[in-house]
Amino acid sequence: MLKPLDPLLHSELRLAIVSILIGVEEADFVYIRTETGATAGNLSVQIDKLQKAEYIEVEKGFRGKMPRTVCRITDKGRKAFADYVDTLRGYLKL
């Protein structure tokens, strides 16, 4: 029997966000939006879902007078991503 994929990470945009954050210490909203090609509204919703699941941390602040949102992956998010990748590998061995 196949192990189910994490439904939170199985969304294309949420998986892209976590994939970006795995490789960096932190990434700001503008960078993530540019890399994913997502709209600001959709990206905000997906970041919120990942934050509520404690897969990422979000810090809101300002750079000068401009608002800035920075995202970082958590240990829980790293584990969820590793488990997701391992599950996909299991699918490929069939």
DSSP string, the chain: -PPPP-TTTSSHHHHHHHHHHHTSS-EEHHHHHHHHT--HHHHHHHHHHHHHTTSEEEEEEEETTEEEEEEEE-HHHHHHHHHHHHHHHHHHT-
% residues pLDDT > 70 (the chain): 99
Q: What is the CA radius of gyration of the chain?
A: 14
> What's the CA gap between 1 and 4, in Å, rounded?
9
pTM over 0.95: no
* Whether the predicted pLDDT of 94 surpasses 80: no
Is 12-80 a domain of CATH 1.10.287.1080?
no
**pLDDT one-digit tens code per residue, 14-58:** 999 999 999 999 999 999 999 999 999 999 999 999 999 999 999
Residue 41: per-residue pLDDT? 97
